């Protein structure tokens, strides 16, 4: 492998960061790769080199049934139902035929199975489409069209312009000069700016025909397949020579070939070994917090049921023995059963009788409510994006309630928060700010005769009429130089398509500036290796390029040294305000005004650049040029020497002005983030972009504010303002990592002795870290194990650690610090790191997380989070295919969470609360009846009442509550995002609420049973209705009416459907009572219809009606009393408190401007450079330009 990399590997210097260099790829030799196998489970082996076919689906035709059933029986309720069905198969203890319970369970399993099947069929379809994409593979001595799935490691593939790269490939050659290749990674990370890759010189020169490609037998040795998107280390051995390879030579799967007619690549990693697939993660079955709680509740209820059944069974044994002793004359009835046997059978009888306390109908209704609430999301016109005809889509139907419990949102930046479109908004030239007014966009001065705009294909967002007039008059030399700089100082490529000029920029910032110059009359026309041709107000001028001083992240600027047609040498420089202003020749009034303008632009979160120039004498240039040539051929310290020379040249500049570019956010992003923050939801931005760009977007979308203390990597381990509890473990880690063994204990003790300043403890903070820093944090577990003894002592010095692993402590310290901050931005993170960050927060904070993104690099994060949201409508759709919810815009997230999520949580919680309440209220009477029936498992109610109670009599009002309940309207939900906190704190359904519901249900059943029992102690009424059947009907009617009244009292949002559901419940009770208790039914099947005319007999007696009314009043008065007490004593709900606050002190409108005191020079270095280093070198070497052509053809 690469000499240096291999040396480090062999020395064991990179035990974690670098995998073994054991991946060998031979070109055009499939047989070589087939022979290698690797173990993957027990003694089983599979091919070491994966094929290129991918499979993201979970099931196939053989595994669907067993796998899906296995997953479904992870729900404790399903296991419980199977247990009850098995009990029902024993006739000695059965109370109902076993198939009557098997049918609803089968329905439940089928509904969920079909839902999973439909989701998986979609994944199969997606896999087929991707695997069947066409491509050209070298077969023998010619290329043949085949499918992506036919590609193997070692194949040579030919790609054409606009096609996707099918596997991770080594670029061998291309049709471009120097075998350059331009790719767009929008399908991977959402970024639309071009990135270049370049083949090795040897393959560029030698592989010039299909014959030479067919005979190519190079061997690549590189690292094993891994998930690091931005790194690659390996070597190519060919014809006895070894050539070093890095990530600049590799085309990643999922990239799109742009501006390159043809390129050829050698497949290194295929299919699931490719870097993007390594980052995708596995599909995980997601369960909501309520789902997990329900599993635990089922276990608790089942255990309580068993204990209750056991107690009743033991009591029945004692009762039977006592009864037999008292009534010995009935011994013939008991001669075959002892009291112990009777207790044993009664135990199972009670278990079956009470099993309906966990009703199967609840789970079927559950699924229906989830499904309908998903339709509500799909049908919401407020989340419909008319521009691209994209509605919101709930791709998962079982997670809606969790949308109301989100605590952390992890968002991608490019394509999610931003549109990745830069627009030139404002500028300051010679002490004048242009672009201030919104009322005169795209208006050219009448009669100006400006004709240059025919070159344009894009409409300019900004065009100030005053600036156009000034440009046309051409009387201001500073303005002329300003516009000339925009047209000359860049690395943009240009090509003509018809009469249109098409610019291809390394970054959208560069393109925005060149377009702005074009629209103001200074049109960039063409470039060669050493010239740039522009049109200045219709006059074509060619400048000789003497040197290009390239941008890099340390210099924060780029310059171009040109000789104009008159022979004058000028330096044009653009860069961040912090580096340009300190290199000015003088500071006059214009410079001071420009600084104020920069502050103003920064307030508006625009990306700023300072523009400056100077004239260079021939003598100065000749001396500098000689030294520049000498430095450029150095073998050691070349970059450092060149930077010194650039620094010398870029001095004594004259300020021309400043530009302000808007990195266009998606509509409503700042307002959405503000609302989410008010709802106590923390937003973390995880991006592959560099820090400056991410910070600028942070300010633009109001995630970061000027009153925040920004903590970067160095501050996290050493800033005195951080409370010691957050930084000690991180500090100890840095001490150990940097081998500062002498100062470790002193450092820890000094941190402990230093009190936390009060102001800094409560100050708003934001954390900004990079992927490299996270790598160190996430790998700490293994690093610490090597030094466990030494480090444990250091950790003990800082904090009592307990039995936790030190690596886990470092992670936890970082998570504690990050979660205590108001904002977190992670830059330069890989897709796998995004998922690991989500995993960390879930692990250490036990919080509900949501991830939102639009590209393939967000897939792993979306799968890992509790809720995954994909942004649809952009070029890359992988994120949507793996998401639970698909939205067209980030701003729709506020409605998805604050309205639909909160309502869904409210509805499901109320549904659960009242389903349990009505079940306990109606069916616990069975237990009380046992105390008066000799502890036999004799049912109190008619069998039909037990069967229909949860299906027809009480399910509809609860169903309408689960579908339509609202505590406040959608408008109020958005006005008062603080309401969202209820879900985060699990206030509406938890163990305490379940306990209260249980007590409430038990008290209702006690009142219904014992009031009826008290009334039936003697024969009463005008008719004789003291019989068991009438008693059962009375208790049943009392319990049913009490349950319905309770639901009526707690329904906040009444609709026609709510009214109809309550009415339907009563009517169905009357109807089925009439049908199942008719004399005709009794005559047909007396064993099935055992209560002939029982309801008519009981409920036509005024005395019984009064008993029912008394039960109803006794059951309802406590609920009314509690509500009245809360109102009188001021124990308001959160909603009432918020309404009160709104009446007393109107909520200020969401403020979207960060106020920076003028003159404070509190600016952010939000300079508008987002492209990678190296483009200037390509241009000056001529690598990117066709020989003898003044423009770059494609």
Phi, psi of 385 (to 5 degrees): -100, 95
- Which residues pair with residue 572 across a beta bridge? 560, 613
> Which string of b and e fits 651-681 if b means at least 16 CB within 10 Å?
eebebbbbbbbbbbbbeebbbbbbbbbbbeb
Contact 6, 234 (CB under 8 A): no
Contact 239, 125 (CB under 8 A): no
Pinpoint the alpha helices (H) of 688-787. 691-700, 713-718, 724-737, 744-753, 758-761, 771-778, 780-786
Query: Which listed residue (412, 509, 854, 884) is catalytic?
Result: 412
Reduced 3-state DSSP string for 633-684: CCCCCHHHHHHHHHHHHCCCEEEEEEEEEEEEECCCHHHHHHHHHHCCCEEE
Alpha-helical (H) ranges within 12-73 are: 30-34, 64-72
Find residue 49's DSSP bridge partners: none
**Strand 849-853 relative to strand 408-411: parallel, antiparallel, unpaired?**
parallel
Residues 845 and 815: beta-carbon distance below 8 Å: yes
Give the pair of three-digit tokens for residue 89.
Answer: 């198969």
Task: Encode 506-572 in three state secondary structure.
Answer: CCHHHHHHHHHHHHCCEEEEEECCCEEEEEECCEEEEEEEEEEECCCCCCCEEEEEEECCCCCEEEE
Which residue has tokens 């809606």? 400
Three-state SS at 1010: helix
Residue where the block lists tokens 């729709």: 892
Q: Coil, helix or strand for 162?
A: coil
Question: Is residue 940 a contact partner of residue 923, using CB atoms and an 8 Å limit?
Answer: no
Q: Which residues contact 630 (CB under 8 A, 6 or more apart)?
A: none
How many Å apart are CA 532 and CA 1191, to the nearest integer?
Answer: 10
- Residue of 821, 866, 860 whose CA lies nearest to 848: 866
- By three-state DSSP, how is residue 794 classified? helix
**SS3 call for 876:** coil
Q: Cα(1171)–Cα(508) distance, rounded to whole angstroms?
A: 8
- 412 assigned to active site: yes
Give CA–CA dist 526/511, Å, rounded: 14
- Rounded to 5 degrees, φ, ψ at 275 are -65, -40
Q: Residue 681: how many CA atoms within 13 Å on its side-chain side?
A: 31
Distance of CA 176 to the CA centre of its chain: 39
Q: How far apart are CA 659 and CA 663, in angstroms?
A: 13
Using CA atoms, how far apart are residues 503 and 86, in angstroms rounded to an integer? 73
Query: Closest Cα to residue 1081, out of 1092, 1067, 1068?
Result: 1092
Q: Please write down the HEC assignment for all residues of 234-296.
A: EEEEECCEEEEEEHHHEECCCCEEECCCEEEEEEEECHHHCHHHHCCCCCCCCCCHHHHHHHH
Is the Cβ–Cβ distance between 863 and 884 less than 8 Å?
Answer: no
The residues that are catalytic are 412
């Amino acid at each position: 492998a690469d000499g240096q990399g291999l040396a480090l590997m062999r020395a064991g210097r990179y035990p974690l960061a670098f995998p073994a260099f054991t991946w060998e790829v031979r070109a055009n030799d499939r047989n070589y790769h087939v022979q290698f196998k690797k173990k993957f489970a027990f003694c089983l082996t599979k091919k070491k080199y994966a094929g290129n076919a991918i499979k993201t689906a979970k099931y196939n035709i053989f595994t669907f049934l067993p796998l899906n059933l296995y997953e479904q029986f992870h729900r404790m309720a399903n296991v419980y139902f199977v247990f009850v069905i098995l009990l029902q198969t024993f006739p000695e203890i059965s109370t109902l035929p076993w198939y009557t319970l098997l049918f609803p369970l089968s329905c439940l399993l089928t509904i969920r199975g079909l839902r999973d099947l439909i989701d998986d069929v979609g994944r199969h379809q997606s896999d087929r489409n991707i695997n069947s994409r066409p491509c050209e593979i070298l077969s023998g001595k010619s290329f043949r069209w085949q499918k992506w799935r036919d590609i193997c490691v070692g194949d040579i593939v030919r790609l054409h312009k606009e096609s996707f790269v099918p596997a991770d490939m080594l670029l061998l050659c291309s049709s471009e000069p120097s075998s350059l290749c331009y790719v767009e990674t929008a399908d991977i990370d959402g970024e639309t700016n071009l990135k270049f890759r370049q083949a090795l010189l040897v393959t560029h020169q030698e592989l010039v025909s299909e014959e030479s490609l067919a005979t190519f037998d190079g061997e690549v040795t590189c690292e094993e397949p891994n998930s690091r998107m931005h790194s690659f280390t390996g070597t190519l051995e060919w014809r006895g020579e070894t050539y070093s390879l890095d990530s600049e030579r590799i085309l990643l799967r999922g990239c799109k070939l742009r501006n390159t007619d043809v390129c050829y690549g050698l497949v290194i990693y295929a299919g699931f070994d490719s870097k993007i697939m390594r980052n995708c993660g596995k599909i995980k079955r997601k369960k909501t917090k309520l789902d997990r709680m329900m599993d635990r509740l089922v276990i608790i209820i089942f255990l309580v049921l068993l204990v209750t059944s056991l107690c009743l069974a033991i009591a029945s044994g004692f009762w039977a023995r006592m009864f037999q002793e008292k009534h010995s004359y009935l011994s013939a009835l008991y001669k075959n059963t002892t009291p112990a046997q009777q207790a044993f059978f009664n135990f199972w009888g009670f278990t079956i009788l009470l099993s309906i306390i966990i009703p199967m109908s609840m789970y079927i209704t559950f699924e229906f409510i989830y499904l309908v609430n998903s339709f509500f999301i799909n049908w919401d016109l407020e989340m419909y994006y008319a521009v691209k005809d994209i509605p919101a889509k709930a791709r998962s139907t079982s997670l809606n309630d969790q949308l109301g419990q989100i605590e952390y949102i992890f968002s991608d930046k490019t394509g999610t928060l931003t549109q990745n479109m830069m627009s030139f908004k404002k500028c300051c030239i010679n002490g004048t700010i242009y672009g201030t007014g919104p009322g005169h966009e795209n208006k050219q001065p009448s009669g100006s005769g400006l004709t240059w705009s025919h070159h344009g294909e894009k409409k300019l967002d900004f065009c100030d009429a005053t600036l156009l007039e000034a440009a046309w008059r051409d009387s201001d030399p500073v303005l002329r130089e300003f516009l000339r700089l925009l047209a000359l100082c860049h690395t943009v490529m240009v090509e003509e398509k018809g009469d249109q000029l098409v610019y291809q920029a390394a970054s959208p910032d560069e393109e925005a500036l060149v377009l702005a110059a074009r629209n103001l009359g200074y049109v960039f026309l063409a470039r060669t290796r050493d010239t740039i041709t522009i049109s200045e107000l219709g006059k074509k001028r060619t400048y000789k390029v003497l040197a290009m001083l390239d941008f890099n992240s340390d210099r924060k600027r780029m310059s171009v040294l040109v000789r104009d047609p008159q022979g004058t040498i000028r330096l044009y420089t653009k860069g961040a305000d912090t580096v340009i202003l300190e290199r000015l020749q003088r500071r006059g009034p214009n410079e001071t005004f420009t600084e104020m303008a920069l502050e103003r632009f920064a307030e508006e979160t625009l990306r700023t650049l300072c523009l400056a120039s100077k004239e260079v004498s021939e003598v100065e240039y000749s001396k500098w040029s000689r030294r520049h040539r000498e430095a450029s051929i150095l073998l050691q310290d070349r970059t450092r020497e060149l930077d010194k020379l650039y620094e010398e040249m870029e001095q004594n500049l004259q300020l021309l002005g400043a530009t302000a570019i808007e990195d266009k956010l998606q509509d409503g992003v700042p307002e959405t983030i503000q609302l989410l923050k008010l709802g106590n939801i923390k937003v973390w931005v995880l991006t592959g972009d560099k820090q400056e760009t991410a910070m600028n977007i942070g300010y633009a979308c109001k995630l970061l504010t000027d009153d925040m203390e920004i903590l970067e990597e160095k501050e996290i381990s050493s800033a005195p303002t951080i409370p010691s509890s957050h930084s000690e473990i991180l500090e100890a880690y840095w001490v150990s990592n940097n081998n500062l063994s002498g100062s470790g204990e002193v450092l820890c003790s000094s941190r402990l002795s230093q009190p936390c300043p009060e102001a800094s403890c409560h100050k708003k903070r934001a954390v900004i870290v990079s992927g490299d820093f996270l790598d160190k944090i996430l790998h700490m577990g293994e690093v610490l194990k090597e030094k466990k003894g030494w480090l444990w002592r250091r950790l003990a010095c800082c904090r009592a650690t307990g039995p936790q692993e030190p690596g886990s402590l470092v992670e936890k310290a970082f998570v504690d610090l990050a979660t205590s901050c108001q904002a977190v931005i992670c830059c330069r993170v890989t897709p796998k790191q995004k998922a690991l960050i989500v995993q960390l927060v879930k692990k250490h904070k036990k919080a509900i997380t949501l991830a939102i993104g639009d590209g393939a690099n967000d897939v792993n994060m979306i799968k890992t989070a509790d809720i995954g949201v994909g942004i649809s409508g952009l070029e890359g759709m992988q994120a949507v295919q793996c998401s639970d919810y698909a939205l067209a815009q980030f701003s729709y997230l506020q409605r998805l969470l604050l309205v639909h999520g909160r309502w869904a949580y409210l509805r499901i919680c109320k549904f659960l609360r009242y389903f349990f309440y009505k079940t306990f209220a109606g069916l616990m009477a069975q237990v009380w009846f046992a105390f008066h029936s000799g502890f036999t498992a004799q049912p109190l109610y008619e069998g039909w009442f037990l069967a229909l109670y949860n299906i027809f009599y009480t399910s509809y009002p609860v169903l309408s509550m689960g579908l339509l309940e609202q505590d406040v309207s959608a408008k109020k939900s958005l006005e008062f995002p603080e309401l969202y906190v209820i879900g985060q704190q699990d206030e509406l359904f938890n163990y305490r609420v379940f306990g209260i519901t249980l007590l409430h249900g038990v008290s209702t059943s006690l009142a219904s049973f014992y009031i009826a029992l008290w009334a039936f102690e003697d024969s009463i009424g005008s008719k004789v209705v003291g019989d068991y059947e009438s008693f059962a009907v009375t208790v049943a009617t009392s319990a049913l009416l009490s349950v319905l009244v309770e639901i009526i009292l707690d329904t906040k949002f009444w609709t026609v459907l709510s009214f109809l559901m309550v009415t339907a419940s009563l009517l169905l009770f009357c109807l089925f009572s009439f049908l199942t208790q008719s004399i005709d039914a009794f005559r047909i099947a007396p064993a099935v219809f055992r209560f002939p005319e029982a309801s008519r007999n009981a409920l036509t007696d005024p005395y019984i009606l009064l008993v029912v009314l008394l039960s109803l009043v006794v059951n309802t008065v406590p609920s009314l009393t509690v509500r009245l007490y809360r109102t009188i004593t001021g124990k308001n709900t959160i909603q009432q408190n918020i309404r009160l606050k709104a009446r007393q002190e109107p909520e200020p409108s969401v403020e979207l401007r960060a106020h920076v005191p003028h003159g404070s020079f509190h600016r952010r270095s939000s300079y508008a450079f987002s492209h990678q280093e190296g483009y200037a070198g390509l241009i000056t070497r001529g690598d990117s330009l066709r020989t003898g052509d003044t423009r770059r053809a494609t």
